[in-house]
Amino acid sequence: MLVITSSDLLKDFPKGYWKRKLEEKISKRNRISGLYNKEEIEKLGDAEYRWRSEVYEPWIKEKPERKSKFETASGIELKPIYTPYDIKHIDYLEDLNFPGCYPYTRGVYPSMYRGRLWTIREFSGFGTPEDTNKRLKFLLEHGETGLSIAFDMPTLYGYDSDSPRAFGEVGKMGVSVSSLQDMEALFKDIPLDQVTTSMTINAPAIVLLALYIAVAEKQGVPIHRLSGTIQNDILKEYIAQKEWAFPPEAHLRIIRDMMEFCSKNMPKWNYISISGYHIREAGANAIQELAFTLMDGFTYVELGMSAGLDPNEFATRLSFFFNSTMDFFEEIAKFRAARRIWATVLKERYGVKNPRALLLRFHTQTSGASLTWQQPLNNIVRTAIEALAAVLGGTQSLHTNSYDEALCLPTEEAVVVAVRTQQIIAHETNVASVIDPLAGSYYVEWLTDKLEEEAYRYFDKIEELGGMVEAIKKGYPQKEIIENAYRQAMKVENKEDIIVGVNEYIAKDERIVNVFKTNPEVEKKQRERIQKLKQSRDNKKVKEALEEVRRAFEDPSINLMYPILKAVKAYATLQEIMDIGREVYGTWKEPSIL
C-alpha cells in the first residue's frame, strides 16, 4: 500500500522556480555591486589582462606550469589568481551578511565557536551492545562530547541477529541491535538526558527511535528532554548506500509519521539528518553532494507540508550530514553555499519566515574514501586537513576518522588520536576565535558562488525528471555518481591525481599497524540472547502488539510510531516489525542504469 507519491509532494509547487534561480545567478555575474566602484573595477579588469599578457604568460612560457589545466576535485576550472573583479557582483549584505543573519553564508549562529565549540562526536559501534557501551564510555572519558552509533549490516537492513540473512555479519561493521534488551545494554549507565545521541540508521529508523525512547522511559527520562539525531534519510539510500527495505513511497509515509510524532512529542530531536556523506563516499563530487543532498532536503520539506505540518516549525528539526574531503577550499565553499541555498529556497519557495527554520545545521565526517591502507599514518594528516576545512566551513558537529579505518574498525589508540585531532584544532590553532575567517577571500567567495550556481543546474534537471523521487526511479543521480567515480578512478590510475603512498611516493616497507578484530563469539552470543528473549517474554502480548503494527502499516491514517513503540516495549524484535512492513509493502528493485 503506497501512500506518498511524487505528485503529492509537488502538487503545491509549480515548475520553473529552479530555472529562474539559475538564470538569476547567471545574469547576476555581470552586475557590479554597491561594494565596488564601476570605474575602478573596469580598471582592475584591464590591469589583470595586462598582467596576464605581459607578466604571467611570458613567465610560464619560459617556466611551464606543472599541469596544462588546474581544477577543483569537482572539475571546476581554476584561474591562476582571483581578484575583486571575480566577485564584483557579490553584495555583502545580500549574499553574505553577518553570522547569524540571513542568508547565513557566514554561519548559522551569531558567535559561532566563540560561544561554543562544535560537538566532538566519534562514530562508534561494533560487536555486542556491551562492547559498544564500553567504547562509548571510553570516548566520553577522552573528550567526546556527543554519542554517534554505528549499527551492523543486519540491523541496518532490519534483520535480527538470528536471521539466516545475518550470517557472518553480526557485530562486524557496527553494533548488533535486535530488541529493547540490546538497546538497554547499549546505553547502560549512560544518562540519556545528559548526552546527545546520533544514530546512523535509515530503513528501520522508526524502530530504532522507538527503542531509544523506550530505554529513556526506563531511565525515567521524559521523551521531550531527549536531544539528538536519527539519520532517517531514505532518499540517499536509494541514491548511494543501498540499504532500503521497502519502495520509496512506503518509506516516505513512515518518515512522515515520524515527523508528525517528533514534532508533537520531541522538540529537541532532529528526526532527519539529510546525508550527503554517503553520496560523496559512493563517488560523487562536491557539486553532486551539495545538489543531491539539498534536493533530498527540499523533498522532505514538501513531505512535511503534504502532511499539513508547518515548515516554520518542523524545518527547525531538519539537520544535515556532509563529507569533508581533501580539496580544502572547495569543501569550505561547499558548506557556505549549502547554508545560503537552504535559507534562500526555504524563504522564497516554501514561504518560511521563522529564522530558526532557515538554519542549515550540519554534522561533518572526514572522508573515509580518502583514507589509504598504504602508509596508514598518512591518514592522520589527511583527517586533520579535512577536519580543519569543516571547522572553517562552520560545522556544528564533527567526526574525525581514525587512521586505521582503511584496514579495520578503529583501535582505541587510533580513535584517541582522532579525538585529539579535533581538540588540537579547537585549542591550539586559534581558528575558532574568528567567525568565518576566509570570508572575503576572492577565491573562496567566487568558488562559493560557483558551487551554488552548479547546484541550481542540478535542481533544474531533477525538476525536469519529475522531482527527486522520480529521478531516483529513473536512476539519474545514481548514474551521475557512478560516472564521476569512474572519472576520478581513471585520474588516479593515470596519475593525473596523486595519492601519496598509493600511486606515487610508494614505500617499499609498509609499517604494520595493530588491526582491530571483533570477538568471533559475537554472533553466537547475540543469537543465544535473542532466542532466550523470545522464550522469556510474554508472547501473547507481543502477538497482540504486532497485530496493531500490521493494522497501522495497512492503514495510512494511523501513525506508525505509536503501535511500534508499544511493540518494542513488549520486546517485539526489529525483524518481527520490519517483516510486517515487507509483507504489506513488498520490496524495491533498483532501476538499470547501464
The helix, strand and coil proportions of the chain, stated in percent and rounded to the nearest 5, come to 55, 5, 40
Comparing 228 with 508, the larger pLDDT belongs to 228
As assigned by CATH, the class of the 101-437+469-493 domain is alpha beta
Sheet with 147-150, strands from edge to edge, namely 123-124, 147-150, 196-200, 227-230, 269-270
pLDDT band at 91 (very low <50, low <70, confident <90, very high): very high
pLDDT tens per residue across span 496-521: 999 999 999 998 877 667 888 888 89
- pLDDT at position 70: 97
- pLDDT at position 204: 98
The pTM of the full predicted model, rounded to 2 decimals, is 0.96
pLDDT band at 254 (very low <50, low <70, confident <90, very high): very high
- pLDDT at position 3: 65
Per-residue burial over 205-243, b = 16 or more CB atoms within 10 Å of its CB, e = otherwise: bbbbbbbbbbbbeeeebebeebbbbbbbbbbbbbbbbeb
Cell numbers that stand for 268 in this block: 529537541
Cell numbers that stand for 587 in this block: 520490496
- pLDDT at position 34: 80
Name the 3-class secondary structure at 148: strand
- pLDDT at position 61: 96
- pLDDT at position 516: 86
Q: What's the whole-number mean pLDDT along residues 358-368?
A: 98
- pLDDT at position 512: 67
Q: For residue 3, how many C-alpha atoms fall within 13 Å in the half-sphere facing its CB?
A: 22
- Asked if pLDDT for residue 119 goes beyond 90, the answer is yes
pLDDT band at 132 (very low <50, low <70, confident <90, very high): very high
Cβ distance 3 to 249 under 8 Å?
A: yes
Q: What is the mean pLDDT of the chain?
A: 95
- Asked if pLDDT for residue 389 goes beyond 80, the answer is yes
- Asked if pLDDT for residue 1 goes beyond 70, the answer is no
pLDDT tens per residue across span 164-197: 999 999 999 999 999 999 999 999 999 999 999 9
Closest CA to 314 of 256, 254, 364, 275: 256
pLDDT tens per residue across span 543-552: 999 999 999 9
Q: Domain extents for the chain?
A: 101-437+469-493, 532-585
pLDDT tens per residue across span 278-290: 999 999 999 999 9
pLDDT band at 2 (very low <50, low <70, confident <90, very high): low
User: Measuring CA to CA, how many Å separate 434 from each of 52, 106, 110?
Assistant: 34, 11, 11
- pLDDT at position 295: 98
Comparing 59 with 15, the larger pLDDT belongs to 59
Q: What percent of the chain has pLDDT over 70?
A: 99
| Nearby residues of 351 by Cβ (< 8 Å), 6 or more positions away | 311
| Count of beta carbons in the 10 Å neighbourhood of residue 497 | 16
Q: What percent of the chain has pLDDT over 90?
A: 93
pLDDT band at 12 (very low <50, low <70, confident <90, very high): confident
